[in-house]
Amino acid sequence: MHKTDSIYEDEPDTVYDFPKTYLKAVKEGIGDWVIYYEPVKAGPRGYFAVAKIQDVIPKPGTPDRYLALIEPGSYLPLDREVPRLLDGRPLEQSLAEADGTPKKGGALQLAVRRLPDRDFAKIVKIGLPQDLERIENTRYDPHKPEMDDPAATFERPVIERLTRLPYRDVVFRRKVREAYDYRCAISGLRLRNGGGRPAVQAAHIRPVARQGNDSVRNGLALSGTLHWMFDRGLLSVADDWSILVSRNKVPPEVVDRLFLPDGKLCRPADPRNWPSLHNLRWHRENVFGQVITDESAPWG
């Protein structure tokens, strides 16, 4: 269970802070998957993400509190947030009476709960549809032939879906572009091609290959040119959301044409989706100004 305004040091995509009460249950989950759930008092999201526990360690300097470390690259937001109840019935068997109606108290308040495999699969299938790649592929052109994958007529096992890179890439792209309302975070432009397909791309701030993840907080919606510049260290973002530019490599006229006048990053309307300052700091320290490319710049 996680809420955005938690008093604990939770970062759902990297670490979960919890008391000793739940130590046994969380330790039993090491190497396994979890589903994040938002309590009723915190908001309407219900089930909203999955991740895999890598390890559990004592929280430094805090007696009787522990940190569940999330396996890098495992965190994945659900494409569709799953409600707590469907047709008035809980999706978790442990939260339902014999007649299917919701229980009251007790297990409902537990911040960490064991979830049977079938309940896990049920929630994931709703939140991450099996045919999400086909949905995205035909989203802006319903008459476009479906993907050439005749072998994919069977339903992939849930865990295979969660770990398959092409599927994860689709989820990340959909969630990031939606969070930014299909608007480039640096230029502020919302462009679509002739078929209505958004031109904006989803860029990882910290690449998955370098211990990043597919959280929206590790993403930026960027136009193709700005995505290219960001990945190659020609620009980055400061903690105050100012755009940093490698002035000796980027002509002033490019900045004038592609950046907003105030030089600030456009952030999502929902603060929960704002870029992680930790990831932006990593990009500044490990990518910005340090990448030399022999490729021709897209502005010629």
The predicted-structure confidence for 126-175, as pLDDT tens digits, reads as follows 999 998 988 888 877 655 555 455 444 456 688 888 999 999 999 999 99
The answer on 83 and 186 residing in a single domain is: no
Any domain includes 74: yes
In terms of residue numbers, what domain contains 50?
15-130
pLDDT band at 88 (very low <50, low <70, confident <90, very high): confident
Note whether residue 6 is domain-resident: no
Domain for residue 68, yes or no? Answer: yes
Asked if pLDDT for residue 4 goes beyond 70, the answer is: yes
pTM of the model: 0.88
Q: Are residues 199 and 281 in the same domain?
A: yes
Whether residue 122 lies inside any domain: the answer is yes
Residue 21: pLDDT over 60: yes
Token duo for residue 184: 């480039």
Last residue of a domain, one of 130, 145, 179: 130
Give CA–CA dist 92/95, Å, rounded. 6
* Residues 43 and 105 both lie in one domain: yes
Q: Are residues 46 and 96 in the same domain?
A: yes
Q: Which of 130, 150, 176 is the last residue of a domain?
A: 130
Quick one: 126 and 208 in the same domain? Answer: no
Q: Is residue 1 situated within a structural domain? A: no
User: 116 in a domain, yes or no?
Assistant: yes
User: Are 171 and 67 found together in one domain?
Assistant: no
Domain assignment present for 40: yes
Provide the percentage of residues in the chain whose pLDDT is more than 70.
Answer: 89
Number of domains in the chain: 2
pLDDT in tens, 185-236: 999 998 887 667 788 999 999 999 999 999 999 999 999 999 999 999 999 9
Shared domain for 176 and 240, answered yes or no, is: yes
- 3-state secondary structure labels for all residues of 2-54: CCCCCCCCCECCCEEEEEHHHHHHHHHCCCCEEEEECCHHHCCCCEEEEEEEE
Q: Are residues 123 and 178 in the same domain?
A: no
| Lowest mean pLDDT across 65-74, 85-94, 186-195, 280-289 | 186-195
CA angle 104, 8, 70 (to 5 degrees): 90
Judge if 120 and 20 occupy the same domain. yes
Verify that 188 and 90 share a domain, yes or no.
no
Dig out the tokens for 199 from the structure: 């031109």
**Assigned domain for 151 exists:** no
